[in-house]
Amino acid sequence: MPIERFEWTHHAEVRLGERHLTREGVEQAIRDGHGARQINAGSADWRVHGVRCDGKTFAVVYDNPAKLDPHTARIVSAWPLRREKGA
């Protein structure tokens, strides 16, 4: 099912500016990656990766469904990834 709505935790909203990420970029990463999402072992259900406009990758963890709505994602956190070895 496609994600149509997003809810943001306070933590995720605060981290956006600190981590040079945008709401639009994070939400698009979820839309684009939801079909190939990975189970997250931490405090959110799912994990996907996105790419910032400068080419750097980032991770997003989120819950879906949120409040029993399969079209809503609750964004828990997002952060830039370190460069991969050999890159």
Residue 49's nearest CA partner among 19, 84, 12, 79 is 79
Residue 22's nearest CA partner among 51, 63, 62 is 51
If one counts the domains in the chain, the total is 1
Asked if omega into 70 is within 30° of 0 (cis), the reply is: no
Q: Do the beta carbons of residue 13 and residue 7 sit within 8 Å?
A: no
Provide the whole-model pTM.
Answer: 0.91
CATH code for position 17 = 3.30.2310
Rounded average pLDDT over 52-72: 96
Residue 72 lies in a domain: yes
SS3 for 27? Answer: helix
Residue 23 lies in a domain: yes
Residue 36 amino acid letter? A
Rounded average pLDDT over 59-79: 97
pLDDT band, residue 5 (cuts 50/70/90): very high
Residue 86 lies in a domain: no
